[in-house]
């Protein structure tokens, strides 16, 4: 029997119904896969804050101060660099948070050049029981996602910029925009959760420097906070912008003489005006000095909480020499402690006893065990070496303060004393 070519083709071709069934299965499978992914995202990140327009976000979370408003000549957004994150350092109550909102250029508030981003408030770390809880609540997520909401936000933001990514593949001068990430009151976070905050800051900085997904600004109150971040990698991933006190000249409603008595601090000035109006204070200079000291105790780190790399370099040359230098410096610090009467706090015998605890404690430790341990871990170690709890806590603070600052030279430069709380 002869079979024509066309007939043969008809026999070998799948029926239309078969094609339709196959296509239906493929469509269902695709929908199921995509639907499963969407359901997972919804279940795992039900409320995770997406990266959106920065200007409306800042209007929601940062209130503008009441008059008088003292203009500040600092431009943090203009100081952003694609290769380095930015540290914005300024005194307490000096308008750093307000500056994050007011310094945003108008062309970065709307339109195609507008900034998108996220805002984190480290001060809210005081209201939670763990760093993971702070990180999660800042992004409206849930603790079961193990703090991955930030990575998810970056991923979704880059996905939304598919057109820019496509044009970049075509070698056109267009690229996905990085997100602006503002970490306000970061020093508060370091005080509450030093090790976790440092690790998180390191990962976030890498999103800026290595992967180009973000432009990050850390806001700190003191040089201790700045030095902590610079010690994170000896400063080559950070620029520093220090807010200078605003002169306050020709500001409507501002008493310039009183403003100067308040160390040109606008927050302190408004506090003093309120106290004067209620008759609570008479000596402005005395009140202002005490108030600034209170703020320093409450909101500043007592020392850089990340070790200075000069100690690591010394240990790499000779670990015994590093421990010997640490012991000599600690002994000098203990001997230099004075009471209100100007007399040494510790007798020579007490100094020697504390030095025995310290040297016994670090005798068997390696380089990184000495450098990486935080104050609570040192306190536990010192108690294990025989120190009373109060002595152990005091010594631990001294040791961490010394390690956070550069190795002192022969003139003692680089040595720093911990602040009393």
Give CA–CA dist 270/274, Å, rounded: 6
Q: Are 65 and 209 members of one domain?
A: yes
The mean predicted confidence, pLDDT, of the chain is 86
Q: Closest Cα partner for 154 from 230, 233, 216, 76?
A: 216
Q: Are 117 and 186 members of one domain?
A: yes
Does residue 318 lie in a domain region?
A: yes
Mean pLDDT of 321-348: 95
Tell me: pLDDT of 14 over 80.
no
Q: Are 119 and 230 members of one domain?
A: yes
Give the pLDDT band of residue 10 (cuts 50, 70, 90): very low
Lowest-pLDDT choice from 12-16, 150-154, 258-262: 12-16
Does residue 338 lie in a domain region?
A: yes
Does residue 339 lie in a domain region?
A: yes
Which parts of 126-282 fold into alpha helices (H)? 131-138, 149-160, 162-169, 186-192, 194-209, 223-233, 256-261, 266-277
Does residue 7 lie in a domain region?
A: no
Tell me: pLDDT of 2 over 80.
no
Lowest-pLDDT choice from 44-48, 173-177, 277-281, 397-401: 44-48
How confident is the model at residue 421, as a pLDDT?
Answer: 40
Q: Are 165 and 63 members of one domain?
A: yes
Q: Are 269 and 355 members of one domain?
A: no
Tell me: pLDDT of 36 over 50.
no
Tell me: pLDDT of 322 over 50.
yes
Give the pLDDT band of residue 152 (cuts 50, 70, 90): confident
Q: What sign results for the dihedral spanned by CA atoms 86, 92, 98, 102?
A: negative
How confident is the model at residue 177, as a pLDDT?
Answer: 94
Does residue 348 lie in a domain region?
A: yes
How confident is the model at residue 33, as a pLDDT?
Answer: 46
Q: Are 171 and 98 members of one domain?
A: yes
Share of the chain above pLDDT 90, in %: 73
Q: Are 127 and 202 members of one domain?
A: yes
Tens digits of residue pLDDT in 250-301: 899 999 999 999 999 999 999 999 999 999 998 999 999 999 999 999 999 9
Q: Which domain holds residue 366?
A: 309-404
Mean pLDDT of 314-341: 95
Tens digits of residue pLDDT in 399-410: 999 999 999 974
Tell me: pLDDT of 372 over 80.
yes
What residues contact 131, with CB distance under 8 A and at least 6 apart? 125, 189, 192, 193, 196, 197, 200
Does residue 70 lie in a domain region?
A: yes
Eight-state DSSP code of residue 364: T
For the record, the structure tokens of 8 come out as 């043969």
How confident is the model at residue 140, as a pLDDT?
Answer: 75
How confident is the model at residue 48, as a pLDDT?
Answer: 60
Q: Are 230 and 277 members of one domain?
A: no
How confident is the model at residue 412, as a pLDDT?
Answer: 47
Q: Are 347 and 233 members of one domain?
A: no
CATH number at residue 108: 3.40.50
How confident is the model at residue 318, as a pLDDT?
Answer: 96
How confident is the model at residue 313, as a pLDDT?
Answer: 95
Does residue 278 lie in a domain region?
A: yes
Tens digits of residue pLDDT in 298-315: 999 999 999 999 999 999
How confident is the model at residue 270, as a pLDDT?
Answer: 95
For the record, the structure tokens of 284 come out as 């402005």
Q: Are 280 and 327 members of one domain?
A: no
Contact 245, 266 (CB under 8 A): no
The residue from 242, 268, 299 where one domain ends is: 242
Tens digits of residue pLDDT in 184-204: 999 999 999 999 999 999 999
Tens digits of residue pLDDT in 190-247: 999 999 999 999 999 999 999 999 999 999 999 999 999 999 876 689 999 999 999 9
For tokens 């601090």, the residue is 265
How confident is the model at residue 74, as a pLDDT?
Answer: 93
Q: Closest Cα partner for 291 from 272, 276, 266?
A: 272
Tell me: pLDDT of 136 over 50.
yes
Tens digits of residue pLDDT in 101-128: 999 999 999 998 999 999 999 999 998 9
Does residue 371 lie in a domain region?
A: yes
For residue 314, the tally of other CB atoms under 10 A from its CB is: 19
Helix (H, G, I), strand (E, B) or coil at 350: helix
50 or 86: whose pLDDT is higher? 86
Give the pLDDT band of residue 80 (cuts 50, 70, 90): very high
Q: Are 168 and 212 members of one domain?
A: yes
Looking at the structure of the chain, the number of domains it has is 3
User: E strand or H helix at 217, and its extent?
Assistant: strand 214-220
Q: Are 265 and 236 members of one domain?
A: no
């Amino acid at each position: 029997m002869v079979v024509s070519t066309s007939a043969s083709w008809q026999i070998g071709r799948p029926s239309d119904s078969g094609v339709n069934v196959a296509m239906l299965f493929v469509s269902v499978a695709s929908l199921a896969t995509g639907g499963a992914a969407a359901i997972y995202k919804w279940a795992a990140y039900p409320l995770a804050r997406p990266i959106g327009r920065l200007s409306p976000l800042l209007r929601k979370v940062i209130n503008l101060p009441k008059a008088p408003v003292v203009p500040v000549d600092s431009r943090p957004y203009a100081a952003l660099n694609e290769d380095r994150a930015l540290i914005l350092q300024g005194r307490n109550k000096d308008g750093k948070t307000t500056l994050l909102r007011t310094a945003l250029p108008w062309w970065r508030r709307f339109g195609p050049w507008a900034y998108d981003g996220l805002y984190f408030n480290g001060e809210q770390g005081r209201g939670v029981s763990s760093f993971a809880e702070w990180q999660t609540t800042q992004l409206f997520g849930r603790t079961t996602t193990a703090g991955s909401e930030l990575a998810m936000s970056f991923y979704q933001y880059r996905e939304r910029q598919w057109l820019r990514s496509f044009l970049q593949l075509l070698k056109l001068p267009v690229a996905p925009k990085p997100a602006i990430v503002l970490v306000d009151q970061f020093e508060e976070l370091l005080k509450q959760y030093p090790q976790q905050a440092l690790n998180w800051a390191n990962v976030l900085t890498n999103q800026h420097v290595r992967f180009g997904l973000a432009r990050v600004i850390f806001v700190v109150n003191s040089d201790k906070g700045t030095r902590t971040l610079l010690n994170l990698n000896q400063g080559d991933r950070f620029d520093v912008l220090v807010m200078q006190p605003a002169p306050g000249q020709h500001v409507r409603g501002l008493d310039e003489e009183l403003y100067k008595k308040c160390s040109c601090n606008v927050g302190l000035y408004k506090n003093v005006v309120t106290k004067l109006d209620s008759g609570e204070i008479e000596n402005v200079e005395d009140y202002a000095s005490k108030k600034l000291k209170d703020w320093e105790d409450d909101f500043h780190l007592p020392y850089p909480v990340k070790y200075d790399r000069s100690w690591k370099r010394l240990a790499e040359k000779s670990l015994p020499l590093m421990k010997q230098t640490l012991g000599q410096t600690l002994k000098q610090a203990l001997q230099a402690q004075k009471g209100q009467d100007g007399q040494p706090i510790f007798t020579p015998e007490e100094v020697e006893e504390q030095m025995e605890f310290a040297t016994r404690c670090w005798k068997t430790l390696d380089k990184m065990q000495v450098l990486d341990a935080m104050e609570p871990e040192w306190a536990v170690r010192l108690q294990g070496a025989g120190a009373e709890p109060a002595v152990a806590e005091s010594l631990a603070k001294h040791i961490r303060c010394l390690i956070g600052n550069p190795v002192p030279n022969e003139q003692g430069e680089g040595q720093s004393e911990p602040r009393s709380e």
